[in-house]
Structure 1
């Protein structure tokens, strides 16, 4: 038999979105393609983290915001899912799908290891192209947006003032260190034997005391503090 006649295995895709109608629409779109199959779905972060390893997808299409923002819990949860999945499945390509053109979310997605970031207003054929692109190991990130985000990474950051760091409790210092190491809330909880909700509340307190609005800013402060301690010790 000619090997050219043997069809390639379909591209395995997992969907995470808290709206069932969106998941159905994307599933129908993808499964109309002969080389794609949706191997699993989830409506929230916990389901996704439990189901993705068993489904063994090659691409995970992840909604950035889950559960809305009724209590703030849905804010960028999809980015956290990306970070956790990439930590345990580095071969997995994550494509972030969002309704919002949000530099903070893009920044977080890049830091979490996402291969692509597209808006939900993207056309169906463009979404299919984006999935094939990230599955092939290529980036699907808008160059202009990446330039904006990377400029923030390379801009020198002031060292954290001792007074702000002194506001943190010993436990908050521990959590800040682990944020700087790139650990997720769940991983921090496991390391420190804390409930995930407790970690989330502690991080909110840390951000407030440091005067920053995002986790990634706290991570940068943690890195600066490590550099300062190393310099003082030297």
Structure 2
């Protein structure tokens, strides 16, 4: 998994870790595994994305172990990736280690774009998970080589010529404010950053983003960002 590299020496102070997982058995298992190490403490844990976003900045961990998929009560598929994106925007020094049951290229791609330092499957051995936490805490990038190769191949693959804009009707459904938010999504801003830019509540932006996705007929923020990029390209000649 990590090419036989020797983990970096543990920091003098305990390594602080936060755990987000909506399954109690998994969450407790990860916590007990990590706390069995003399140099690691679990500084906090959460069941939902909302809880994680509220608690992580307060406890200031070195590493956040984030479940990629949370149940609907926790915020749904790929919610852990959104938590990673938001936390990295607030705390650039935080290392996020994504933990998932599924070998999902889309989730891996989103995690890389969100700034995750590592992405491992839940079938990982306990000792390897501890090593992964220490590695990302030391600044290493820990992504499964085979999965990373697939994502890099996708990024390098020649992109087909964009088709004539089929989404003009969908764009017409957006209000001027929603178009403004869509443009900021295309710039890679998080909900928190958009809220600060537009002087609105973060919850308001979250609701607007959900509305935008529904009106555009897309299920994920990355897809909306791609549409925003195409819209910007089309508008450029007219400016």
TM over 0.5: yes
Q: CA deviation at 1:142?
A: 1.5
- Alignment match, 1:118: 120
TM-score, normalised to structure 2, is 0.82
- Alignment match, 2:178: 172
Instruction: After superposition, give the CA deviation of every residue in 1:58-78 in whole Å (9 maximum; x if it has no partner).
Output: 100011112x147x9312111
Q: Is the 8 A contact 1:96 1:114 kept in 2?
A: yes
Structure 1 Cα separation of the partners of residues 14 and 23 of structure 2: 25
Structure 2 Cα separation of the partners of residues 89 and 135 of structure 1: 14
Structure 1 Cα separation of the partners of residues 104 and 229 of structure 2: 24
Deviating more after overlay: 168-177 vs 117-126: 168-177
- Alignment match, 1:156: 159
Q: CA deviation at 1:115?
A: 0.4
Structure 2 Cα separation of the partners of residues 160 and 178 of structure 1: 23
- Alignment match, 1:98: 100
Structure 2 Cα separation of the partners of residues 177 and 65 of structure 1: 27
1:13 aligns with 2:20: no
Q: CA deviation at 1:214?
A: 2.3
Q: CA deviation at 1:112?
A: 0.7
Residue 22 of structure 1: which of 4, 20, 26 is its match? 26
Q: CA deviation at 1:41?
A: 1.1
Q: CA deviation at 1:202?
A: 4.5
- Alignment match, 2:48: 44
Residue 229 of structure 2: which of 202, 223, 229 is its match? 223
1:211–1:46 distance in 2 versus 1, CA, 3 Å: closer
Structure 1 Cα separation of the partners of residues 30 and 169 of structure 2: 50
- Alignment match, 1:63: 67
Residue 193 of structure 1: which of 197, 200, 221 is its match? 200
Q: CA deviation at 1:164?
A: 4.5
Instruction: After superposition, give the CA deviation of every residue in 1:105-151 in whole Å (9 maximum; x if it has no partner).
Output: 11111111000111111110111111111111111112222232234
- Alignment match, 1:79: 81
Q: CA deviation at 1:91?
A: 0.6
Structure 2 Cα separation of the partners of residues 163 and 151 of structure 1: 33
Q: Which runs of 5+ in 1 are unaligned?
A: 1-6
Structure 1 Cα separation of the partners of residues 209 and 84 of structure 2: 19
Q: Is the 8 A contact 1:160 1:225 kept in 2?
A: no
SS at match of 2:53: helix
Q: Is the 8 A contact 2:89 2:190 kept in 1?
A: no
TM-score, normalised to structure 1, is 0.83
Q: Is the 8 A contact 2:17 2:64 kept in 1?
A: yes
Instruction: After superposition, give the CA deviation of every residue in 1:174-223 in whole Å (9 maximum; x if it has no partner).
Output: 22112112233455456363673x65554455345445442212112212
1:32 aligns with 2:39: no
Q: Which runs of 5+ in 2 are unaligned?
A: 1-10
